[in-house]
């Protein structure tokens, strides 16, 4: 049974998304896994193992007092930064899809960028709370919230993982807004961020190509525009009701990353508008519950740290989900971001479910007992 006081609607929403993700990973990866490994169940078996492990970790973490995480911000950020640096070492880090983002440990691989995004928001949540409590000023903690995580952001860009870096900065700015940072500072930070993003996007040939293919994928339909064109074809085939679970054609080596970054297109083809709307509404509801948890933590307990942490986790997962869906339907350039809880990927799923465990812990409140893990 879930611990008392837990936000049950949020828990059930996340479990439903994870279960649905297993179904879609199986549907989208079977033929690809059969061709690549000789075992059509290779990917779904790994995803099932990571799902069960992630749910177990989520169940354990939600019993911990979330306030204890405030004492671990520097070790967590330091570990994430170290792992990001290790990715760049030849032989330890490995490259896939043109980016070096993974550390291989035997048969397993881990993407430190997934850990980094939550380590950064944990640091920023603690920093805003600590500085405001000590200094009492709205501008306190602004510079440190950007400067301390800066090495991690630079390492992410070096991989390159432009999408993850932009997502982290967006969440940090959102937390500053929630923290009451004056608008003039936020506007200045946003303008600097937009200028930096534009410079990075236009200063790299492959990023310029991505922007060009986003604006007109038919300029290079067999190259840079191929993925988004095939994704749109999938949504077109699915129409309103879909072609039926397992009956999609785009996953048959037409759509690259069908079980990962573009699994939303498989959902659109096989389950149609109904499936797409259901996933979108599930993420909207997840964001609503997450924000409500944060607001309740602050209103009932006066806990700014719980507010910032809940909002940060909710935005990190919700915004990534909405960006992934927007990319799949051609509303944004391709980012290389997976769909939380649904896309194939062990390290992402484990970290995401651990973050949800913290969010569920916040929903229980700071004064409630923590069962066998409480100290």
pLDDT of 134-177, one tens digit each?
Answer: 655 555 556 677 778 888 888 888 887 888 888 888 898 888 88
d(CA 272, CA 213): 25
Sort 201 into a burial class: Cβ within 10 Å, 0-12 / 13-18 / 19+. middle
Which pLDDT score is estimated for 2?
A: 67
Strand partners, 96: 99
pLDDT of res. 309? 95
Structure tokens at 372: 């066998």
Q: How far apart are CA 71 and CA 81, in angstroms?
A: 17
In the chain, which stretches have pLDDT less than 70? 1-2, 95-99, 105-107, 132-143, 203-204, 367-375
Q: CA–CA distance from 30 to each of 53, 110, 341 (Å)?
A: 22, 22, 19
User: Residue 104 pairs with which residues in a beta bridge?
Assistant: 109
Its sign, for the CA torsion 254, 259, 263, 269, is positive
| Residue-level pLDDT at 301 | 74
Residues 6 or more apart in contact with residue 89 via CB below 8 angstroms: none
Residue with tokens 């059930």, as numbered in its chain: 12
Question: Can you tell me the distance from the alpha carbon of 42 to that of 26, in angstroms, rounded to the nearest whole number?
Answer: 9
The residue written with tokens 């792992």 in the block is 83
Name residue 105's beta-bridge partners.
108
HSE-CB at 134 with a 13 A cutoff on CA atoms is 8
For residue 103, the cross-strand partners are 93, 110
DSSP 281-325: HHHHHHHHHHHHHHHHHHHHH--HHHHHHHHHHHHHHHHHHHHHH
Give, in order, the Cα–Cα distances in Å from 29 to each of 44, 61, 223, 231, 252.
Answer: 8, 31, 22, 16, 9
- CB-based burial, 32-47: b 16+ in 10 Å, e otherwise: bbeeeeeebebbbebb
Burial 78-108 (b: 16+ CB within 10 A, else e): eebbebbeebeeeeebeeeeeebbbbeeeee
The pLDDT assigned to 159 comes to 80
What is 139-199 written as a DSSP string?
TTTHHHHHHTTHHHHHHHHHTT-HHHHHHHHHHHHHHHHHTT--HHHHHHHHHHHHHHHHH
For the whole model, what pTM was predicted? 0.90
Tokens of 96: 């896939």
Bridge partners (DSSP) listed for residue 95 = 100
């Amino acid at each position: 049974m879930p611990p008392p006081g837990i936000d049950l609607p949020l828990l059930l929403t996340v479990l439903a998304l994870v279960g649905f993700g297993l179904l879609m990973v199986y549907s989208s990866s079977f033929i690809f896994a059969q061709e690549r490994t000789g075992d059509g169940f290779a990917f779904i078996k790994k995803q099932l193992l990571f799902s069960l492990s992630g749910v177990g970790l989520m169940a354990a973490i939600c019993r911990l007092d979330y306030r204890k995480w405030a004492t671990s911000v520097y070790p967590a950020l330091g570990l994430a930064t170290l792992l990001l640096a290790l990715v760049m070492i030849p032989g330890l880090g490995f490259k896939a899809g043109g980016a070096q983002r993974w550390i291989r440990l035997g048969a397993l691989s881990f993407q430190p960028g997934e850990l980094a995004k939550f380590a950064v928001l944990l640091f920023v949540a603690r920093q805003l709370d600590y500085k405001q409590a000590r200094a009492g000023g709205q501008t306190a903690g602004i510079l440190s919230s950007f400067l301390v995580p800066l090495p991690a952001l630079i390492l992410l860009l070096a991989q390159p993982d432009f999408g993850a870096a932009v997502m982290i900065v967006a969440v940090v700015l959102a937390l500053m807004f929630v923290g009451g940072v004056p608008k003039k500072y936020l506007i200045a930070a946003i303008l600097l961020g937009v200028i930096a993003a534009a410079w990075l996007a236009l200063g790299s040939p492959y990023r310029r190509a991505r922007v060009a293919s986003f604006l007109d994928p038919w300029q290079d339909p067999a190259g840079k525009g191929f993925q988004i064109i095939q994704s749109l074809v999938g949504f077109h085939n699915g129409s309103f009701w879909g072609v039926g679970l397992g009956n999609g054609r785009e996953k048959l080596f037409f759509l690259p990353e069908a079980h990962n970054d573009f699994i939303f297109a498989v959902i659109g083809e096989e389950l149609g508008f109904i499936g797409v709307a259901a996933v979108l509404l599930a993420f909207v509801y997840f964001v609503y519950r997450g924000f409500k948890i944060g607001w309740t933590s602050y209103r009932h307990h006066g806990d700014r740290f719980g507010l910032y942490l809940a909002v940060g986790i909710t935005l990190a997962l919700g915004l990534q989900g909405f960006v992934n869906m927007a990319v799949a339907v051609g509303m944004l350039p391709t980012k290389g971001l997976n769909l939380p809880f649904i896309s194939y990927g062990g390290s992402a799923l484990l970290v995401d479910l651990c973050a949800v465990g913290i969010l569920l812990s916040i929903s229980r409140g700071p004064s409630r007992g923590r069962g066998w893990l409480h100290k």
